[in-house]
Amino acid sequence: MDELGLSQAPVVLGVSLGTIMVPVYVSSPLQLVLSDSTLAELLAIREALKIFCQSEWVNISNLIIEFDSSVAVSWEVNSIVDWMAKVVPGAMFVAAIIVGVVITIFVLLLRKCLKKRKKEERKRKYFIQNGGAYLRRLISTGALVGDSKVFSPEELEIATDGFNENRILGRGGQATVFKAMLRSGRVVAVKRAKTVEEWIRESFINEIIVLLEIKHDNVVGLIGFCLEAEKPLLVYEYIPNGSLYQILHEQPDNFLNSWEVRRRIIREVAEAITYLHAIRTTDFNGICHRDLKSQNILLDQQYRSVLADFGIARFLGPDRSHLTTQAIGSLGYIDPELQFSGEYTKRSDVYSYGVVIAELLTGEKAISRRWGNLAMQLKSAVKNDNISAILDCKIVTEENKNELSSYTKLSRRCLKKKGKNRPFMEDILNELNRLQGLFG
């Protein structure tokens, strides 16, 4: 049965003879069983019917709402559409039917309106829960720029084919990402929170705020977002070739078997992070990504690297060199100094970047059963002058041995235990330029 039970509501029309005219009355024309309805909805129906009853066409009495094991609204239409009777006496019965039908349509429309209102209220509630009011304030004060679009939950539901499992592009710690097609025909990626936990909602709003400030070829573009759904949604440009992690560690035969491609990725990621660290306004002094890892580096159509996942990224305050934080990030990539100092600096990102270079040089995961901690392995190989033993044999040639050795040493510098001994991203870019000049 539908919510109001209208589909099964009996419509009883009665015709009786009056004294002067031929009166027509409709007794209990609609009996609505409202088992699931709220009191507010019932009262709204009653009020609306009362207004309707005062019209000159129809007079409804005995409007009652009963609360029993189920809830029922019933009423009687007991006046006649007597003008009609005067004009066409034979049409009395038809008039009664018309009255019944009109009321039915009226109630159906009313129910639709109430449903719509409830839905709007729900959307408003989710919007507030998801931090939408805060975001709106930031945008209205001009603190945020960017031209992202606000999507409705319905639009993204359709675009993802109801968040169909077959559309999943990847899963992270907090979200699932779906391939989707917008009404315009544009293919995009839609990220949906896995749960409605507070910290996940916060990371979504954080990602919007950070991405609205960023525009770079090697950083994923935010097309829009939706905060009116129970689980917040982000819409990004679609990056078709998956994550570096998926390609490097899950697809044995791939285009990453060439050192030239890996070298290009090392450079592009460095450019993206250098940009983040250097971006400055009066309100902040750079952005720390805080979750650099191969799962968060995507590869586009031309296999260019695109940095993604800004859920825990943070702005550094003006004149600040660090954020006070607990150890944050992913196992195998976290700056070891962080757990003692509680201070996240730009050089904590440099440590994670060093692990990504190590992954590209060795073809091994940051943490694996076989190798344990990759950073430790790389460090001891450099220390023992045994670099060739850890390099991925797929990329080593007679000609590039020295070059690979130089990149391994660069990775080692990024992985220094003490942050102050690690280079800044600008230094790394300079070193990459130098190596490019040296080895071509």
Ligand X SMILES: Nc1ncnc2c1ncn2[C@@H]1O[C@H](COP(=O)(O)OP(=O)(O)O)[C@@H](O)[C@H]1O
Of 146, 242, 336, 423, the one binding ligand X by CB under 6 A: 242
Mark the segment that binds ligand X (CB under 6 A) among 100-108, 145-153, 295-303, 367-375: 295-303
Cβ proximity to Mg ion, 289 vs 416, nearer residue: 289
**Partner from ligand X, Mg ion, none binding residue 170, C-beta < 5-8 Å depending on class:** ligand X
| Residue 182: how many other CB atoms lie within 10 Å | 18
294 binds Mg ion, rule: CB under 5 A: no
Report the nearest approach of ligand X to the CB of residue 208 (Å). Answer: 13
Q: Kindly tell me the burial class for residue 425, based on how many C-beta atoms sit within 10 Å of its own C-beta (0-12, 13-18, 19 or more).
A: buried
**Considering only residues 23, 100, 146, 172, which one is a binding residue for Mg ion as defined by CB under 5 A?**
172
Say whether residue 169 binds ligand X (CB under 6 A): yes
Separation of alpha carbons 59 and 99, rounded Å: 10
What is the residue-wise DSSP string for 134-178?
A: HHHHHHHTTS----PEEPPHHHHHHHTTTT-GGGEEEE-SSEEEE
Count interface residues toward ligand X (CB under 6 A).
Answer: 22
Closest approach of Mg ion to the CB of residue 206, in Å:
13
Contact 322, 316 (CB under 8 A): yes
Of 37, 160, 206, 296, the residue at the interface with ligand X (CB under 6 A) is 296
The residue range among 164-172, 273-281, 374-382, 415-423 that interacts with ligand X, by the rule CB under 6 A, is 164-172
DSSP structure class, residue 180: E
CB of 438 to ligand X, least distance (A): 34
Residue closer to ligand X, measured from CB, 171 or 434:
171
Q: Out of Mg ion, ligand X, none, which partner does residue 75 contact, by CB within 5 to 8 A per kind?
A: none
Nearer to Mg ion, 23 or 172 (CB): 172
- Compare residues 58 and 229 and give the one whose CB is closer to ligand X: 229
Which residue among the candidates 82, 161, 283, 291 is catalytic per the annotation? 291
If binding is defined by CB under 5 A, does position 296 make contact with Mg ion? yes
Nearer to Mg ion, 130 or 295 (CB): 295
The C-alpha atoms of residue 264 and residue 244 are separated, in whole angstroms, by: 13
> What string marks each residue from 110 to 149 as x (binds ligand X by CB under 6 A) or -?
----------------------------------------
What are the structure tokens assigned to 313, written together?
């990224």
Q: Note whether 220 binds ligand X by CB under 6 A.
A: yes
Q: How far is the CB of 262 from ligand X (least distance, A)?
A: 18
- Note whether 411 binds ligand X by CB under 6 A: no
Strand partners, 237: 188
Amino acid code (one letter) for 386? N
The answer to whether residue 174 forms part of the interface with ligand X (CB under 6 A) is yes
Report the partner that residue 213 touches, choosing among Mg ion, ligand X, none (CB closer than 5 to 8 A by kind). Answer: none
355 CB-contact burial (10 Å; exposed 0-12 / middle 13-18 / buried 19+): buried
- 291 is annotated as an active-site residue: yes
Which position among 25, 127, 236, 344 is part of the footprint of ligand X (CB under 6 A)?
A: 236
**182 lines the binding site for ligand X (CB under 6 A):** no
* From candidates 206, 218, 295, 348, binder to ligand X by CB under 6 A: 295
Contacts of 267 (CB under 8 A, 6+ apart): 432, 436
β-strand pairing of 175-181 with 372-373: unpaired
Cβ atoms of residues 167 and 181 within 8 Å: no
Q: Using CB under 6 A as the criterion, which residues of the chain lie in contact with ligand X when the complex forms?
A: 169-175, 177, 189, 191, 220, 236, 238-239, 242-243, 295-296, 298, 308-309, 311
Q: Which residues are catalytic?
A: 291
